[in-house]
Chain A
């Protein structure tokens, strides 16, 4: 069964322009799907809609978000929240701001287990220790007692990853989880997420603007432009032959570190114009929101 199915998800700024245009998305259990696109294309917005953390200035105008067959948008708010807490998790972008500065690390890993899922404290503590070992943190007892400011960025991202996997979620939204990190740390964190994902069999919605990351960790990807999915392919097919001209241009624009002489290839204006026309045609043909 699919871990997550999104049908026709439309989101817009309240009394403003659409941000997501009837987005379709299918994520099989244990699959990793990349969401790529330029800034403002709406890739993070999809993850936020799934987790119920859209900003108050934004509203969902239509569609379904089926989490293991249940439409989250039809659940009463309290039940939706609990279900998301029990089956989903977020790996946030910036580890420096995603941990509460006045709580110790331990409770920030175990809070969901104890408060939402009703674990006993000793069981949750044992689980936290186990998770820290899994994310290769050497001195779990000291770290659990530390405050966030006592730890490095890479360390904090490991903790956030451990926390995300704590309740064995079916679905994790990874929102650019390596963007804020040092380049040398990025690789380790990426490898760590991929390894954890393989062991736990968690489906991941991997939001990123880095196609290199997609090629390393994802099986499928959706390319977004202006809130519209322009391509939905397997990673293998995409890198062999992207179907949509915009995604082809996006792929061509990826800098090649192995060949610095190649320079930068920005997405050509003609391609942008074409995809914009496509969005405009979509808006005319499919009135919504």
Chain B
């Protein structure tokens, strides 16, 4: 059972990775300057008040002691209490996670569609002006970072031609019947296409801003490997069978050419999730990233720890999914 073995091995390395991340984050945010307690109290609070509150949050203990207490809690599913909101970190973080997941996955799908279309069109009309135009567009998409694309999109489709919403996740006045925070997904399941359209109109630009650089990477790499694949013997043999260019590309070349791209998409997708931090801020999108920035500004130590740990867990999960997909797409790996 190779898949099972991969899974078990991955589970082990994941635990080690997460433990490492936990230690680093825990120590770093306690070493950097900035006192969370001082930020909570009104100006003019006495030394005694500060000391009392510090003790209440356990921040008077040594870092190893604090870490031990925190880990003991985490192992029981208690990630502590947010200093700023006084709500359990786990509830806060899991409440925001769906928003970020939906945004990242939407961006990934957009990037695959845009990049895939660019690569296929470029391969179909390779050596001509169309391919040149695609290369130029790819280069431009790649050399501008996602947050700048966000600003450009806001100017274009939020200000000059206001077709999309530039802020938030959903229009606040709407009455939401949702049981979960997966708004996009749940609105579809409940067949509330009115809500779905509103959510997409909010999500479209941040997702596109995240998608554009990744689309360029996918487009370039996939086109490169498609063109190489098109010269292989089995593609030539398929041509002699009577298949036209487009069918040869889709039927013979695409699947084999997609494999190297897939690995890269996995790595790049984790970068994209990292990119949500700034993009969510830019579009006031109520996701994890936006929450992370607030947590850092407020020195909300337990919340920062929870968010970072969750991000780390997402990254390892993405890598695992890519590996499994790779095994599914490449028959030569299935029995290896």
What residues on A are CB-neighbors of B127 within 8 Å?
56
CB-nearest residue of chain A to B232: A97
A94 in the interface (beta carbon within 8 A): yes
Complex: A90 Cα to B241 Cα, angstroms: 9
Contact across chains for A116 and B242 when beta carbons are under 8 A apart: yes
What residues on B are CB-neighbors of A102 within 8 Å?
255-256, 329-331
A7 in the interface (beta carbon within 8 A): no
Interface SS of A by simple majority: mixed
B240 in the interface (beta carbon within 8 A): yes
CB-nearest residue of chain B to A90: B240
B182 in the interface (beta carbon within 8 A): no
Contact across chains for B256 and A85 when beta carbons are under 8 A apart: no
Knowing A92-B233, A98-B233, the reply to whether A115 touches B331 (Cβ < 8 A) is no
What residues on A are CB-neighbors of B243 within 8 Å?
81, 85, 115-116
Interface residues in A, total, Cβ within 8 A: 29
Most buried by A among B232, B238, B241, B256: B241
CB-nearest residue of chain A to B259: A102
Contact across chains for A149 and B242 when beta carbons are under 8 A apart: no
B236 in the interface (beta carbon within 8 A): yes
Say how far A68's CB is from chain B's closest CB, in angstroms. 16
Say how far B176's CB is from chain A's closest CB, in angstroms. 44
Contact across chains for A92 and B237 when beta carbons are under 8 A apart: yes
What residues on B are CB-neighbors of A90 within 8 Å?
236-237, 240
Say how far B232's CB is from chain A's closest CB, in angstroms. 6
Say how far A47's CB is from chain B's closest CB, in angstroms. 10
What residues on B are CB-neighbors of A97 within 8 Å?
232-234
A89 in the interface (beta carbon within 8 A): yes
What residues on A are CB-neighbors of B331 within 8 Å?
101-102, 147, 149
Within 8 A of B (CB), among A88-113: 88-90, 92-94, 97-102, 111-112
Within 8 A of B (CB), among A247-263: none
A86 in the interface (beta carbon within 8 A): yes
A51 in the interface (beta carbon within 8 A): yes
B61 in the interface (beta carbon within 8 A): no
B252 in the interface (beta carbon within 8 A): yes
Complex: A100 Cα to B236 Cα, angstroms: 11
Knowing A98-B233, A102-B255, the reply to whether A147 touches B240 (Cβ < 8 A) is no
Complex: A25 Cα to B332 Cα, angstroms: 43
A53 in the interface (beta carbon within 8 A): yes
Interface residues in B, total, Cβ within 8 A: 21
What residues on A are CB-neighbors of B329 within 8 Å?
102
Knowing A100-B252, A102-B331, the reply to whether A84 touches B233 (Cβ < 8 A) is no
Say how far A181's CB is from chain B's closest CB, in angstroms. 15
Contact across chains for B240 and A51 when beta carbons are under 8 A apart: yes
What residues on B are CB-neighbors of A121 within 8 Å?
none
Complex: A147 Cα to B239 Cα, angstroms: 20
Contact across chains for B244 and A53 when beta carbons are under 8 A apart: no
Complex: A221 Cα to B236 Cα, angstroms: 26
What residues on A are CB-neighbors of B247 within 8 Å?
115
Complex: A94 Cα to B234 Cα, angstroms: 10
A40 in the interface (beta carbon within 8 A): no
Complex: A82 Cα to B237 Cα, angstroms: 14
Complex: A173 Cα to B207 Cα, angstroms: 52
What residues on B are CB-neighbors of A99 within 8 Å?
234
Say how far A156's CB is from chain B's closest CB, in angstroms. 11
Within 8 A of B (CB), among A6-50: none
Contact across chains for A85 and B240 when beta carbons are under 8 A apart: yes
Most buried by A among B237, B243, B244, B330: B237
Contact across chains for B256 and A82 when beta carbons are under 8 A apart: no
CB-nearest residue of chain B to A50: B240
A212 in the interface (beta carbon within 8 A): no
Say how far A118's CB is from chain B's closest CB, in angstroms. 11
Task: List 20 additional contacts besides A82-B242, A102-B329, A147-B332; criterion CB under 8 Å.
Answer: A52-B239, A52-B240, A53-B236, A56-B127, A81-B239, A81-B244, A84-B240, A84-B242, A86-B242, A90-B237, A90-B240, A92-B233, A97-B232, A100-B256, A101-B234, A101-B331, A116-B242, A147-B331, A149-B331, A149-B332
Task: Report B's interface with A, CB cutoff 8 A.
Answer: 127, 232-234, 236-244, 247, 252, 255-256, 329-332
Nearest first, the 5 closest Cβ-Cβ pairs linking A and B are A85-B242, A116-B242, A112-B241, A97-B233, A98-B233
Provide 8 A-B residue pairs closer than 8 Å at the C-beta atoms, listed in order of the A residue: A81-B244, A90-B237, A92-B236, A97-B232, A98-B234, A102-B256, A115-B241, A115-B242
